[in-house]
Amino acid sequence: MFFDIPYNLITFTLGAFLLGWLLSSVSARLGDRHRARRRDPRDDRIRSLEAELRVAQSDAEQTREKLERVEGELDDANDGIEKRDNVISHQQSRVDELKKDLRESVAKTRELREELTDRATENVKSEAKLREVETELSVARASTDMIATGVLDYSHGPDAEGANEEAVVPDEAGKEAGATKT
């Protein structure tokens, strides 16, 4: 049966097939251009949402990296703060101890100053009394020496013997000096 078909019919069929294929491809291309002009707004919205999603994902990834970096810095800062707090509390306790020692030292120094002042006052008083006693002793010694040498004689008074007689008066060293009474 295939051999009974005339050659022209096969050529026409084959030509018609090629012509249909060619017309359908041209029609499809023209339809694509026409469809491209009248795109569906939902397709544009989908494409823009996909682009925004990619941007948001990259931003989220960058933000995660920044967050991890900041958390690491925060941990380091917290460790540093804790160490500084420990050092500060140690130094504060040492300062408190030193203040306490200083207060005790100041109190002891005040007590010692008061004691020294009392002793100095006692020393000055005792030196004054010693000088008084020495003075009294030297006066008593001088009068004893004068009585012993006979320079001081209470029986002879200036009224009894006369006004122009010479009287012997001891000087500071206990020596006799002649003095005239007038």
From residue 173, alpha-carbon distances to 93, 124, 151, 153 in Å are: 72, 28, 14, 19
Biggest CA-to-CA distance, the chain: 212
Mean local confidence (pLDDT), 46-50: 93
Model confidence at 159, pLDDT cuts 50, 70, 90, reads low
pTM: predicted TM-score of the whole model, two decimal places: 0.38
- How far apart CA 70 and CA 63 sit, in angstroms, is 10
Model confidence at 37, pLDDT cuts 50, 70, 90, reads low
DSSP 180: E
**Location of structure tokens 């931003």:** 59
| Main-chain dihedrals φ then ψ at residue 175, nearest 5 degrees | -85, 155
State the chain's mean pLDDT as an integer: 83
Model confidence at 151, pLDDT cuts 50, 70, 90, reads low
Amino acid at site 174 = G
Query: Where does residue 83 rank: exposed (0-12), middle (13-18), buried (19+ CB within 10 A)?
Result: exposed
Alpha helices in the chain (DSSP H): 7-37, 41-149, 158-161
Is the confidence at residue 150, as pLDDT, over 90?
Answer: no
- How far apart CA 52 and CA 81 sit, in angstroms, is 41
